[in-house]
Amino acid sequence: MIYLPYNIIVLIKQILDIDQMKTNQSTGEPITEGVPMRIENLSKNAIEAAVRIKEKYGGKLTGIIFGGEQSSSAMKEAYAIGVDEGIVIKGYKGKNPSVTARVLSEKIKTLPYDMVILGNQSADTYTGLLPGKLSSLLNVPLLGNAVSIEPGEKEVKVTRVLEDHNVILKGNFPVIISVSQEINEPRLPAVLQIIKAGKREIKMETASVQDSSSIKILSDRAPKSERKKEVYEEPEKAIPVLTRVIKEAML
Amino acid sequence: MRGIVFSDKEDILSQALTFFRQKMEIDAAIYSENPQSSAEFGAKKLFFLQGTGFSDNVSDALLSIIQKENYDFIFITSTALGREVAGIVSDKLGKEIIAEIFDFNIDNSKVKTKRFAWGGKTVAEEESDCRIFTVMPGIVEASKVPEKSEVSQVRMNDSKVSLVQTIPKSSSTVDLEHAGIIVSIGRGIGKKESIDQIMPLVKAVKGELAGSRPVCLDYQWLSEDRQVGLSGRKVKPKLYIALGVSGQIQHIAGMRGSKTVIAINKDKMAPIFEEADYGVVGDLFQIVPMIVKALQQ
Ligand SMILES: Cc1cc2nc3c(=O)[nH]c(=O)nc-3n(C[C@H](O)[C@H](O)[C@H](O)COP(=O)(O)OP(=O)(O)OC[C@H]3O[C@@H](n4cnc5c(N)ncnc54)[C@H](O)[C@@H]3O)c2cc1C
Ligand SMILES: Nc1ncnc2c1ncn2[C@@H]1O[C@H](COP(=O)(O)O)[C@@H](O)[C@H]1O
């Protein structure tokens, strides 16, 4: 195997743990207080993909989070998984993808890189706009929705998942690669690594952000569930009910 | 008011056209291998993008159409390519964008849209001056109009990215959107071979088989077009039977429209029971044969 050390930038988003977030029983509004933060799902896949490239070919991984003071905890977790150098840019307020893309692209422009790896669609806001926006702002080609990444000497080959078929593409470095959730199963960092990561330095910077968004949220509520929620713990009692319901639906 | 819808999937384009033609005069652009019926869904003009397209050159072609036609609104359907193109086009135009809308209305020059927020847990209704949107698949059911679109071809430039190979996926013809009863399996099924134990139920209820994302994408126990959820199909059967599905919010987003829901899960705390009319706590491999037997009596 040839040894090709790559410079890789991984973009990591820190989000509220949406799996733990509840909504208010009567208003349906999200309850965000007290919900812990964690690394966003697809960002974990992106870190894992980058770490695997490093393990196989060598290289340096720089992680960037556009977040806040509290994002150092997410960066430490990223260190424990294999990120070498972390930059946290403070000032992330809203969810305006144009602002996020501008702040991240300005930072990326100051760093050397062969690949920028990020998620294709983040699990909380689900916009999926960042890969395209960064490609446009950096004027760097996008190899999107990857389920495999094979870097070579000057170029990288990526298997891209589309709705009806898959394609294998290649592009010359530098490139932006967005990954799909199926690309890998992100590892859990080992305890020893977490302890070590706790001592490592993180570069903290601040972005000045002006957000002139016209978007006003009129309401934000969980759709009402009007389900009966009849739950049986003894199958014998459930079967007659289920067969009645199934037979009705079959009419 | 005039708008354009771009898509690389004909079926999703026809749904979006059916929806937006009621709101404004609408054109369409499609990048697809061999578009057959796109001209029949009410677009005034229809542009066929030709060549091998990736996010960069598809965006360039779309931008040239947008600049020439001077649209008030740009709608891009949410597919892998669509989202990338939307990112590029919104950046090039320097315009604010709202992603993944599933409703759209114009109210006194303001736009009102709806989208899922917090990973699908809530629906956010927003008011804005936005002019660019990505649109969720399945916004309405597609219906044809008698008049055909006026078709023109747009040749794309070369992409900076090159195509090495196309790998076909087995395309099946399941129509989950119109199924009356859906039996949906999750990771709780354990392995592909166990599907054999579910099939008697699928047959007995004359249903369609569907699955969660891990089942369809990660493990490929079922084909991808059977995936229900936020990034899969949005279904609305009379009866949805969830077997070994935990009921994560991204799954719920695809089956919320079901009339009645039955869930079987061995974990009493599984969130699927919050979205079920009838739930059974227990091992699906014991309960499913019991139901089949009872149905046969
Ligand atoms: C951006 C994004 C988009 C997504 N889109 C989708 C989507 O479109 N569709 C989708 O489904 N997911 C989607 N997901 C994934 C989603 O978050 C969950 O990971 C997924 O739905 C879980 O699938 P599951 O219920 O099959 O598996 P699990 O969560 O692992 O649940 C398995 C369940 O089976 C039960 N079980 C195990 N054995 C048995 C048994 N013998 N009998 C009875 N019960 C048993 C367990 O108690 C458990 O509750 C998306 C995620 C992200 C981040
Ligand atoms: N604030 C952020 N800081 C760093 N990376 C981000 C941020 N927001 C999004 N990303 C990356 O972009 C991917 C896609 O996000 P999005 O386009 O917002 O759906 C995520 O999976 C992350 O890898």
Q: How high is the mean pLDDT of chain A?
A: 94
- For the residues B241-250, what does the mean pLDDT come to? 93
Q: Which of B10, B118, B166 to probe the A interface (max A CBs under 10 A)?
A: B118
Residues of chain A found within 8 Å of residue B272, distances taken between Cβ atoms: none
Q: Do B125 and A219 touch (CB under 8 A)?
A: yes
Q: Which residue has the higher pLDDT, B175 or B15?
A: B15
pLDDT, position B141: 86
Residues of A in contact with B129 (CB under 8 A): 214
Pairing of strands A30-31, A22-23: antiparallel
Tell me which long-range contacts A104-108 makes (C-beta under 8 A, separation of at least 24).
Answer: A104/A11, A104/A64, A104/A66, A104/A130, A104/A134, A105/A133, A105/A134, A105/A137, A105/A138, A106/A207, A107/A64, A107/A205, A108/A9, A108/A64, A108/A134, A108/A138
| Mean pLDDT for chain B overall | 94
For ligand 1, whether the C-beta of B97 sits within 6 Å is: no
| Cα–Cα dist A53/A5, whole Å | 9
Q: How confident is the model at residue A236 (pLDDT cuts 50, 70, 90)?
A: very high
A121 lines ligand 1 (CB under 6 A): yes
Question: How large is the average pLDDT for residues A30-38?
Answer: 95
- At residue A204 the predicted structure's pLDDT band, cuts being 50, 70 and 90, is very high
Q: With an 8 Å Cβ cutoff, is B83 touching chain A?
A: yes
Do the beta carbons of residue B159 and residue B216 sit within 8 Å? no
B97 in contact with A, Cβ within 8 Å: yes
Test B123 with A217 for CB contact under 8 angstroms.
Answer: no
The model's pLDDT over B184-195, given as tens digits with 9 standing for 90+, comes to 999 999 999 999
What CATH architecture does domain B2-155 belong to?
A: 3-Layer(aba) Sandwich (3.40)
- Looking at the complex, does the CB of residue B162 fall below 8 Å from at least one CB of chain A? yes
In this model, does residue A200 exceed pLDDT 90? yes
Decide: helix, strand or coil at residue B152.
strand
Chosen from A142, A160, A237 to mutate, greatest number of chain B CBs within 10 A:
A142
Confidence tier at A2 by pLDDT (50, 70, 90): low
How sure is the predictor about A126, in pLDDT bands with cuts at 50, 70 and 90?
Answer: confident
Interface test with B, best of A161, A229, A241, A244 (most B CBs within 10 A): A229
**CB-closest option in A21, A137, A231 to B273:** A231
pTM for the model: 0.88
Which residue, among A151, A8, A142, has the nearest Cα to B80 in the 3D structure?
A142
Radius of gyration of chain B (CA): 21
The 10s digit of each residue's pLDDT in B68-90 is: 999 999 999 999 999 999 999 99
The answer, yes or no, to whether any atom of ligand 2 lies below 6 A from the CB of A81, is no
Angle at B167 between CA B164 and CA B169, to 5 degrees: 160
What's the confidence (pLDDT) of residue B175?
Answer: 86
Query: What is the dotted CATH code of the domain comprising B176-296?
Result: 3.40.50.1220
Task: Write down the H helix ranges in chain B.
Answer: 10-20, 55-69, 80-93, 195-204, 213, 249-255, 284-296
Q: Answer yes or no: is A241 within a domain.
A: no
Percentage of residues in chain B with pLDDT exceeding 90? 82
Distance between CA atoms of residues B23 and B291, nearest Å: 47
Give the number of the ligand closest to the Cα of residue A209. Answer: 2
Distance from Cα B246 to the centre of ligand 1, integer Å? 5
Res A3 pLDDT > 70: no
Q: Does A245 reside within a domain?
A: no
- Residue A229 covered by a domain: no
Tens-place pLDDT, residues B204-244: 999 999 999 999 988 889 988 899 998 888 899 999 999 99
- Does residue A238 belong to any structural domain of this protein? no
Q: Which domain holds residue A86?
A: 6-212
Query: Edge to edge, what strands does the sheet with B239-243 contain?
Result: A230-232, B278-281, B260-265, B239-243, B181-185, B208-211
Across B102-131, b (16+ Cβ under 10 Å) vs e yields bebeeeeeebbbbbbbbbbbbbbbbbbebb
- Structural domains in chain A (count): 1
Better pLDDT: A225 or A187: A187
Q: pLDDT value at position B172?
A: 63
For residue A251, being part of any structural domain is answered with: no
pLDDT band (50, 70, 90) for residue A164: confident
For residues A152 and B35, the model is more confident at: A152
Whether residue B179 has pLDDT greater than 90: yes
Question: Which has more confidence, B225 or A130?
Answer: A130
Q: Give pLDDT tens digits for B254-274.
A: 999 999 999 999 999 899 999
Is B65 at the interface with chain A, CB within 8 A? no
Ligand 1 neighbourhood includes B227 CB (under 6 angstroms)? yes
CB count within 10 Å of CB A49 equals 26
Q: Tell me what the mean pLDDT of segment B269-283 comes to.
A: 95
CA atoms of B46 and B28, how far apart (whole Å) = 5
Average pLDDT estimate for B246-254:
89
Cβ neighbours of B260 in A, within 8 Å: 245, 249
pLDDT score of A209: 85
List Cα–Cα distances, B4 to A223, B22, B46, B76, B84, in angstroms. 30, 13, 9, 8, 17
Q: Does the beta carbon of A94 lie inside 6 Å of ligand 2?
A: no
Contact A63, A48 (CB under 8 A): no
B229 CA to middle of ligand 1, Å? 10
Pick left, alpha or beta for residue A78 (phi over 0 → left; psi -120 to 50 → alpha; otherwise beta).
Answer: alpha
pLDDT tens-place string over residues B87-132 = 999 999 999 999 999 999 998 889 999 999 998 889 999 999 999 9
Chain B residues whose beta carbon lies within 8 Å of the beta carbon of residue A167: 163-167
Domain-embedded: residue A240: no
> Which residues, listed in sequence order, are joined to residue B104 by a DSSP beta bridge?
B113
User: A24 to chain B, minimum CA–CA distance in Å?
Assistant: 11
Helical ranges in chain A per DSSP H: 41-57, 72-81, 97-108, 130-138, 191-197, 235-250
Cα(A72)–Cα(A70) distance, rounded to whole angstroms?
6
* CATH, residue A40: 3.40.50.620
Domain boundaries, chain B: 2-155, 176-296
> B93 CB near a chain A CB, below 8 Å?
no
Measured at the CA of A106, the angle between CA A101 and CA A109, to 5 degrees, comes to: 120
What Å distances lie between residue B203 and A250, B6, B171, CA to CA? 12, 39, 22
Q: What is the pLDDT of residue B50?
A: 96
